[in-house]
A and B are shown apart, each in its own frame.
Chain A
Amino acid sequence: MKKSILLSWTAAAALAVGLAGPADAEIKIGSTLAVTGGASFLGDPEARTLKMLVDEVNAAGGVNGEKLELVQYDDGGDPNKARTFATRLVEDDEVVAVIGGSTTGATMAMIPVFEEAKIPFISLAGAVVIIDPVKKWVFKTPHTDRMACGKIFEDIRKRGLSKVGLISGSGGFGKSMRQQCLDVAGSAGVEIVADETYGPDDADMTPQLTKIKNAAGVQAILNADFGQGPAIVTRNVRQLGIALPLYQSHGVASKSFIELAGEAAEGVRLPASALLVADKLPDSDPQKAVVVGYKAAYEKATGEPVSTFGGHAYDAFQMLVAAMKKAGSSEPAAVRDAIEQTRGFMGTAGVVNMSATDHLGLDLTAFRMLEIRKGDWTLVE
């Protein structure tokens, strides 16, 4: 009897050693993304990217000698679900860091959980509210809508224009970008002479565009939205024979926009990441190696065309791995400090220089102004 107890204790101890031993140890990284649902065009490439990169890192021996394990949930873009998964990631899965939140709504719902648990959290969502004001444990990789407005207005000014007709979707993205554009218009030397909106399921925006067309002195049109709205707006602009320059947001930066808008997309300009024009970048461009490398790897692994949104996940993951290597540990506080010290990191979105007051680290040069010509992206420079 005594002997068998001793034996089982020895076995348990051996097992425990085995689990804690460096060979089998795993760093758990959590992630909750909108893999399905309305925002799945964001979450799907993000999830595929993370999976691809985790496999890649593990095949190369892991980080600091430990393998990575990805704990992945699908929140469907629903803030309530996202928050539930955030709690589960912290309490049940005991992850050391979290990448995710495809949408701003989901991200904002999760922030309090990670702030309280003191877990570094890198969001993949767009809005500026995520990192402004700065929150100790929260970072993000995509450009903000505020920067998109800035970049578009800069281009409009370069063309010698200043009076802009704004038409935005009434969904979260369009609403937020509309507000940011109105905020930065003054300092960018641009005047908003018309301000129209439309619903997320609307099929015809000619009344709104007729009003913009008739607005006094309007010189350019800016459409702040993603999804089907911009494709319909672009078609309606051509239908009405409006010859003004049309700007779209970074939210439509995918090939499907060109397909949906068809010939009407000719001449449309938008700010986007270098990823979309990876092959067209000059070899001297410092970002070329990163974007071409990710594009090739993603398209080989998934058989689907690359999207900027997957690029956000790429940037977040590479920054996290770099931070773990730099910290020499996967202890959350050390990883957080290392992420904040990221300098000169070249990602798909641009050069990242984090600081205690800037948890995004991108500037306007990270955006490229693109124009659609002959059904393809071209760099405007």
Chain B
Amino acid sequence: MSELLQFTFSGLTVGAVYALVALGFTIIYNASGVVNFAQGEFVMLGGMITVFAHAAGAPLPAAAALAVVATAAIGILLNKLAIERARGASVVTLIIITIGASIFLRGAAQLGFDKQLHRFPSFSGDDPIAIAGATILPQSLWMLFGAAVVFAALYLFFTRSLTGKAVLATANNKLAAQLVGIDTDFVMALSFGLSAAIGALAGVLATPITLTSYDAGTALALKGFAAAMLGGMGNPFGALVGGLLVGLIEATTAGYLSSDYKDAAAFVVILAVLFAMPQGLFGKSAQERV
């Protein structure tokens, strides 16, 4: 029993990382249909900037806030300098641009920071909380809390706010959105800024557990992308559930079957789900009007 609980705690810890990364994909995807492959680099930047600001003497909360703001600015710049220039290009072209941006950001981080692994202290110490023979770190609870807050904020943003609806409208039909008076350039800049901020927040919350380095983004983006696909791309609830689900599948496979099959099991489940439900668990099916 305590074994199952331990595997669940492990799954929730890892799943919270995936969910946080997956949530970052939603806004840009909802605004433009673009899967932003630089999302993992936003997570990395969040962690790395916090590490270096903290090492330079800034208190941890200030360093974390700086990381989120700086990464959001980088996101807006990325939109301004690369995405906006390719106005009118197809979604596939834009996705390729984000891949280029991810390589660029990784290289810049390698030069600007360094090539070492880094970590900063957990928010509430490293003493594990014991529940019925299993243990979980306080930082894991912070990550779950962060994922829940980001999810709630995104949900309210897309369903209750006019700006959120403007974002959805831009994705749906850019020209029509412009005709009804939506500033689509602003919507794109906003969505890149917010996505980058969410990514940076994920990095801030996860780094005490996952550690970070200039090339940590690629692997995170891959798992986060898989989680987002499982839950349904663009749906914040799907991202949350997809992330936790992938984490739980991995942990229980590693615990009960063999750690060798951990990644395989997660991807088999994802493939099976996508085979039956191509839009993911909670995704809406795309409607093309002719």
Contacts and interface: CB of A to CB of B under 8 A. Distances in A.
Pair from one complex: yes
23 contacts: A170-B260, A196-B254, A197-B259, A197-B260, A198-B254, A198-B262, A199-B263, A200-B219, A202-B262, A203-B14, A203-B209, A203-B210, A204-B251, A206-B9, A206-B135, A206-B251, A207-B254, A210-B7, A228-B213, A231-B117, A239-B135, A240-B128, A260-B211
A196 B259 contact: yes
Contacts of B116: 41, 256
B119 interface: yes
Contacts of B41: none
Contacts of B255: 207-208, 210-211
Contacts of A264: 126
Interface of B: 3, 6-7, 9-10, 13-14, 17, 110, 115-119, 126, 128, 135, 137, 206, 209-211, 213, 215-216, 219-220, 223, 251-252, 254-255, 259-260, 262-263
Contact of B137 (A36, A202, A239): A239
Given A256-B117, A260-B119, A232 B211 contact: yes
B115 A204 contact: no
A199 B250 CA distance: 11
Nearest to B118: A260
B108 to A, nearest CB: 13
Contacts of A199: 262-263
Contacts of B209: 203-204, 232
A203 B220 CA distance: 10
B119 A259 contact: yes
Nearest to A167: B259
Contacts of A201: 216, 219-220, 223
A199 to B, nearest CB: 6
Contacts of B263: 199
A204 to B, nearest CB: 5
A40 B113 CA distance: 14
Nearest to A208: B259
A206 B6 CA distance: 7
A120 B7 CA distance: 51
A241 B128 CA distance: 9
A65 interface: no
A284 interface: no
Nearest to B15: A204
Contact of B14 (A38, A41, A204, A263): A204
Contacts of A8: none
Counting chain A residues whose Cβ lies within 8 A of the other chain, the interface size class is 35 or more
Nearest to B135: A239
Contact of A235 (B6, B126, B206, B252): B126
A354 B91 CA distance: 60
A333 B57 CA distance: 56
A214 B17 CA distance: 27
A293 interface: no
A263 B210 CA distance: 17
A262 interface: yes
Contact of A210 (B3, B117, B211, B219): B3
Given A199-B262, A235-B126, A38 B3 contact: no
B43 to A, nearest CB: 12
Nearest to B206: A203
A227 interface: yes
A260 B117 contact: yes
A227 B14 CA distance: 18
B117 A263 contact: no
Given A228-B117, A231-B117, A259-B119, A206 B215 contact: no
Contacts of B10: 204, 206-207
Interface string A248-288: 00000000100110111000000000000000000000000
B115 A44 contact: yes
B115 A208 contact: no
A214 B2 CA distance: 11
Contacts of A239: 126, 128, 135, 137
B192 to A, nearest CB: 25
Contact of B259 (A41, A198, A203): A198
A198 B115 CA distance: 23
Contact of A228 (B9, B128, B211): B211
B115 A41 contact: yes
Contacts of A41: 115-116
Given A197-B260, A199-B262, A239-B135, A40 B251 contact: no
A198 B9 CA distance: 17
A219 B278 CA distance: 49
Given A199-B263, A260-B119, A207 B219 contact: no
Nearest to A38: B215
A230 to B, nearest CB: 10
A315 B211 CA distance: 32
Interface string A213-240: 0100000000000011001100100111
Contacts of B135: 206, 239-241
Given A239-B135, A263-B126, A207 B117 contact: no
A214 B119 contact: no
Contacts of B3: 210, 214
A36 B110 contact: yes
Interface string A25-60: 000000000001110110010000000000000000
Contacts of B252: 207
Interface in A135-190: 170
Interface in A100-122: none
